[in-house]
């Protein structure tokens, strides 16, 4: 196991990465008070991993309140959030009761938001069970639910007490979900680490075959980059926006097709190719760079063609993005492969981009 630290002005927490960590109660104990925790999971993950976690906690005399939610992005809602509050109140949980998020990014984001709100702030721990959650959503304290008018629109910045990323939990992860996680890993290479991008080109086949050492290196590199960025800019006033590479386009795809039709990571992958193409249209990247991004996405098993939402719908959906400032949509673009920046795009770029060669004609 290796442990990274995320340091912020008023808090600091460990990110443990390794194997055989699910029953390592010693990593949880420092964050548990009064021998009681609530473990929040979903109907897919709980049958796989709740029993060993619960047994390990109970062996240390800690009582476990299981809260099992329905599975899916469609359930990242107020109604589902209320199920967590209902259970916490029925079980007389106190402000000091630690919530443990056992699941992917949907569970992690919802449990984090529930913890931020419950009695004005309860402690919580992230045990991410998807690759995407291990490299991105469990780290950095962005918590949220969706609103029918936009993704992750209701939420809070609220940091976990610890993150425990166990590579063994990825054994059961379906191939399509693994590829979705690879999109966020590729994102780190594209936005700020050209050397890591080259490493990924060599190692994507091993990542897709779930080689644990290679996975662990990718998770460590991604979490280290994220921890560094978040420690500079917790509330996204500056550099943290770069972590949204591909997301302005990606969120429009998710909302435009209906949440859950494309996976978040798939939409981000196709969105990163649109960001690369926009950067080529601006003269930053060459054609070879764009083809390289496309090939890396293909190696990861990700889609490269975005759906044809129509220019007006694209613009309407992207106008809800959280980076919109003074009504202006701002995009994460590439100066080179490995260097990103944020800027608006002129209509003379958006029009050809959103009707162009990376849009699937219907
Ligand atoms: P997810 O949580 O929906 O998990 C994907 C699917 O895999 C689900 O069906 C889940 O039940 C299943 N699953 C989870 N772990 C499994 C395992 N080990 N074995 C088998 N099946 C398993 O999706 P995700 O891709 O993990 O997360 C996407 C969400 O994360 C989105 O809502 C997105 O907005 C959010 N997100 C948040 C941040 C952040 O910074 N907070 C960053 C990126 C993404
Ligand atoms: N996933 C983007 C961020 O955490 O800022």
pLDDT tens, position by position, 166-188: 999 999 999 999 999 999 999 99
- Return d(Cα 356, Cα 308) in angstroms, integer: 10
Question: What is the percent of the chain with per-residue pLDDT over 90, rounded to a whole number?
Answer: 93
Catalytic residues: 120, 142, 184, 226, 236, 240, 244, 247, 251, 264
pLDDT of residue 323: 79
Counting ligand 1 atoms within 8 A of each CB, the residue from 160, 177, 180, 229 with the most, and so the one to mutate, is 177
Whether 62 contacts 34, CB under 8 Å:
no
Confidence of residue 102 (pLDDT cuts 50, 70, 90): very high
From residue 324, how far is each of 6, 218, 234, 272, 274 by CA, in Å? Answer: 28, 31, 18, 18, 18
- The DSSP bridge pattern shows strands 63-69 and 124-128 to be unpaired
pLDDT averaged over the chain? 97
What does the pLDDT average to over 54-75? Answer: 97
Half-sphere exposure of 161 (CA within 13 A, CB side): 20
Helices (H), 120-263: 131-132, 175-192, 194-208, 212-232, 247-257
Q: Whose CA is nearest to atom 22 of ligand 1?
A: 173
pLDDT band at 297 (very low <50, low <70, confident <90, very high): very high
- Which atom of ligand 2 is closest in space to residue 243's alpha carbon? 2
Does 105 sit in the ligand 1 pocket, CB within 6 Å?
yes
- Of ligand 2's atoms, which has the minimum distance to the CA of residue 137? 1
Q: What is the mean pLDDT of residues 272-298?
A: 98
* Pair 308, 360: CB distance under 8 Å: yes
Ligand 1, atom 27: nearest CA belongs to which residue?
105
3-state SS assignment for residue 213: helix
| Count of beta carbons in the 10 Å neighbourhood of residue 33 | 12
What's the pLDDT at 316? 94
Give CA–CA dist 104/238, Å, rounded: 27
Which of 295, 296, 274 shows the shortest CA–CA distance to 285? Answer: 274
Mutate to test the pocket of ligand 1, among 104, 111, 171, 236 (most ligand atoms within 8 A of CB): 104
Mean pLDDT of all residues in 287-298: 98
The structural domains of the chain, with segments of one domain joined by +, span 2-172, 175-354
Tell me which residue has tokens 């008018």: 149
Given a cut of 80, whether residue 362 has pLDDT beyond it is no
Chain center to CA of 57: 27
Closest CA to 57 of 132, 125, 151, 152: 125
Task: Return the number of other C-beta atoms located less than 10 Å from residue 52's C-beta.
Answer: 11
The domain 2-172 having CATH identifier 3.40.50.1970: the answer here is: yes
- From residue 257, alpha-carbon distances to 261, 315, 354 in Å are 6, 14, 15
On whether the CB atoms of residues 154 and 144 are closer than 8 A, the answer is yes
CA-CA distance, 129 to 169, in Å (whole number)? Answer: 6
Non-local CB neighbours of 326 within 8 Å, separated by 6+ positions: none
Sign of the C-alpha dihedral computed for residues 101, 105, 109 and 110 taken in this order: negative
Q: Quick one: average pLDDT of 78-107?
A: 98
pLDDT of amino acid 259 = 83
- pLDDT band at residue 320, thresholds of 50, 70 and 90? confident
221 compared with 74, residue with greater pLDDT: 221
In CATH, the number for domain 175-354 is 1.20.1090.10
State the pLDDT confidence band at 77, using cuts at 50, 70 and 90. very high
142 lines ligand 1 (CB under 6 A): yes
Q: Do domains 2-172 and 175-354 have the same CATH topology?
A: no
pLDDT at 122: 98
Nearest to 124 by CA among 14, 39, 11: 39
As a whole number of angstroms, the distance between CA 250 and CA 20 comes to 34
Q: Give the list of residues 6+ apart from residue 287 with CB closer than 8 angstroms, or none.
A: 280
**Amino acid 321: pLDDT:** 80
Q: Is 350 helix (H, G, I), strand (E, B) or coil?
A: helix
Contact 40, 84 (CB under 8 A): yes
């Amino acid at each position: 196991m290796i442990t990274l630290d995320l340091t912020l002005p008023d808090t600091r927490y460990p990110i443990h990465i390794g194997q055989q960590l699910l029953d390592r109660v010693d990593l949880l104990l420092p964050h548990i008070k009064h021998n009681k925790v609530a473990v929040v999971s979903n109907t897919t993950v709980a049958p796989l991993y709740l029993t060993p976690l619960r047994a390990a906690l109970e062996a240390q005399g800690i009582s476990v309140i299981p809260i099992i939610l329905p599975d899916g992005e469609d359930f990242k809602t107020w109604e589902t959030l209320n199920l967590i509050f209902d259970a916490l109140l029925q079980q007389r949980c106190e402000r000091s009761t630690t919530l443990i998020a056992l699941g992917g990014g949907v569970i992690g984001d919802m449990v984090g938001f529930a913890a931020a709100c419950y009695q004005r702030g309860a402690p919580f721990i992230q045990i991410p069970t998807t690759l995407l959650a291990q490299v991105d959503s469990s780290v950095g304290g962005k918590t949220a639910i969706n609103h029918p008018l936009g993704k992750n629109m209701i939420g809070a910045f609220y940091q976990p007490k610890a993150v425990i990323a166990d590579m063994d939990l990825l054994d059961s992860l379906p191939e399509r979900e693994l590829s979705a996680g690879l999109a966020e890993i590729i994102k780190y290479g594209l936005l700020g680490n050209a050397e890591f991008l080259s490493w990924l080109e060599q190692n994507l086949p091993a990542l897709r075959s779930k080689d644990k050492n290679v996975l662990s290196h990718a998770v460590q590199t991604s979490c280290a980059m994220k921890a560094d960025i978040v420690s500079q800019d917790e509330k996204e006033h500056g550099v943290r926006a770069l972590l949204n590479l591909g997301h302005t386009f990606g969120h429009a795809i998710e909302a435009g097709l209906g949440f859950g039709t494309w996976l978040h990571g798939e939409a981000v992958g196709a969105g990163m190719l649109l960001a690369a193409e926009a950067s080529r249209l601006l003269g930053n990247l060459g054609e070879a760079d764009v083809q390289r991004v496309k090939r890396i996405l293909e190696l990861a098993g990700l889609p490269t063609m975005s759906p044809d939402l129509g220019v007006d719908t694209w613009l309407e959906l992207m106008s809800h993005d959280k980076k919109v400032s003074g009504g202006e949509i701002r995009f994460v673009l590439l100066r080179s492969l490995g260097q990103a920046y944020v800027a608006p795009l002129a209509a003379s770029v958006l029009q050809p981009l959103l009707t162009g060669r990376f849009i699937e004609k219907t």
